[in-house]
Amino acid sequence: MTLKKGFLPIIIILLLLGTLSVAAQDTPANATDWWRDAVFYEVFVRSFYDSDGDGIGDFNGITERLDYLNDGNPDTASDLGVTALWLMPMMESPSYHGYDVTNYRAVEPDYGTLEDFRRLLDEAHARGIRVIIDFPFNHSSSQHPWFTASTNDDPTYRGWYLWEDENPGFRGPGNQVVWHPRNGSFYYALFWDGMPDLNLTNPAVTTEIFSTARYWLEDVGVDGFRLDGVKHLIEDGNVQENTPATLEWMQVFNDYVTLIQPDAFTVAEVWSNSYFVKPYIERDTVDVAFEFDLAQAILQSVGGERAAALNSIQERTMGIYAEARFATFLTNHDQNRVIDELRGDVEKAKLAATLLLTAPGVPFIYYGEEIGMSGRKPDERIRTPMQWDATENTVGFTTARPWEPPQSNATEVNVALQTGDPDSLLSTYRDLIALRAAHPALRRGSWTAVDSPTRQVYSFVRATDAETLLVIVNLADEAISEYALTFEGDLTGRNQAQNLSGEETIAPLNLTPEGGFMDYQPLTSLAPHSLTIIALSP
């Protein structure tokens, strides 16, 4: 009988705890939560920059372009200013996307060598950029030697995957086929038949995954992991999402990662309603998880020029996750790009960036988002080559034929054209990232809603012990002169208002006896699609 997913036996927990014999490293105070101050940039290696002229992006290409991301000099303003990278799958794989791994301890040859990757890490770290990598261990490739051996009834590897003599018959969460025939039996593969699910209730599989994590952290030197498809790790019969056994397994995994490298960062893809994501944070299975509901609310409010959706979801989100332990984003490699969701409106794209980078949580930017790269599914078309300049057909990405054709508007939308334009989307991202870096309240501060009867006005207070900021966003494409702000929190002693976002004089702030304010209009008029930040101090 083969092992089935369905529960995580306590013996596996004990076995894994027995492997946790690593001496904890000495870590400076607060160094382990570096990610709270970070702005991440998601990179598809194949599409970022080709250094050797084969039409495929590579590690050396990223290294060559690091100064675009962050040149390591805080006195310059020509770089984007991001402080962390998430590299999409870069382990050996037969596919263009890399989520079906054939060797978990080898880099994809198309991207270069392990030495190239180590050099990328060194150069990134020299600029103050941390690097995390995608770790897709819910499944392997069907071409992985483990699966080949399992298919051939090798007793060592048969139980590394999920086999049944008869088709169990149930389908996946999206009504997809999940049981696939092979050699007279059926194996479980949630996403497609080329990515069979690993059996994480098998101690041998779990031990191998843990050992692999240790390899990348200790031997290679990455700074953490983005964990793919976490909600699908362990099934319970036909229950295939967010099972208790998945939470147990992830809790032990995260403890192991933390013990090996206390400052390692983990972020999970749990593509579910926020209430299903909540237990992953409450039980410390990861540092943060991506907040899909909030991402949708940002785009909904920006697109509709109404604050209601974002107000509601942001307040709910703050109540769900303690200490703002969630990752914010607009769209990612599985979704249509931001500019397409906003129907090509660059001003709204700027507004979406504003909401992302002034909000609580850990922000992630998908490569090319900062210049307004377009892209609609299928997946290859939302992962097209980075548009560096207006060179026809290659857009400065390669000197050869690119692995995937660029977007049709690439010669009008690229880094070179936007770099010198202070009003460009790229300049907006640079300015916002610099603003976030300059103000601890925007990175680590609390968040409290500010009420306004004007539907197009979205406002909130971000505060630390040392800094309090009143943030006001006009979502409308026209100026608003009639609005009023009401705050029911306690700002006692912080009634001096200073405009950090312009030269206009701010109206005096009169606090109520409780420390709040009512019907406050700090500016005579809010400019269209504008951000106003007011520092409140004694």
Q: What is the dihedral of CA 137, 139, 144, 147, to 10 degrees?
A: 130
Which is it for the CA torsion 524, 482, 498, 474, positive or negative?
negative
CA distances from 247 to 100, 210, 250, 251, 286 (A): 23, 16, 5, 6, 10
Q: Three-state DSSP class for 46?
A: helix
Distance between first and last Cα of the chain: 71
Strands (E), 82-233: 84-87, 91-92, 103-107, 130-135, 163-164, 179-182, 185-188, 224-227
Instruction: Give which of 434, 405, 386 is closest to 62, Cα–Cα.
Output: 386
In whole angstroms, give the CA distance from residue 22 to residue 210. 12
CA distances from 262 to 17, 25, 230, 322 (A): 16, 7, 21, 20
Contacts 24+ apart (CB under 8 A), 260-263: 260/22, 260/213, 260/214, 260/217, 260/218, 261/25, 261/217, 261/218, 262/24, 262/25, 262/27, 262/31, 262/32, 263/27, 263/31, 263/32, 263/34, 263/223
- 429: DSSP letter: H
* Known active-site residue 269: yes
Residue 100 neighbours by CB distance under 10 Å: 23
* Helix/strand/coil (H/E/C) assignment for every residue in 344-371: CCHHHHHHHHHHHHHCCCEEEEECCHHH
User: What's the burial of 456, exposed, middle or buried (CB within 10 Å: 0-12/13-18/19+)?
Assistant: buried
In whole angstroms, give the CA distance from residue 398 to residue 405. 11
Q: What is the CA radius of gyration of the chain?
A: 24
Rounded to 5 degrees, φ, ψ at 537 are -145, 170
**Among the options 228, 235, 241, 370, which is catalytic?**
228
User: What's the burial of 26, exposed, middle or buried (CB within 10 Å: 0-12/13-18/19+)?
Assistant: exposed
**Among the options 50, 235, 269, 370, which is catalytic?**
269
- The bridge status of strand 185-188 relative to strand 179-182 is antiparallel
Q: Three-state DSSP class for 42?
A: strand
Question: Vertex 297, ends 294 and 302: CA angle to 5°?
Answer: 130
In whole angstroms, give the CA distance from residue 256 to residue 261. 9
In whole angstroms, give the CA distance from residue 216 to residue 104. 9
Active site residues per annotation:
228, 269
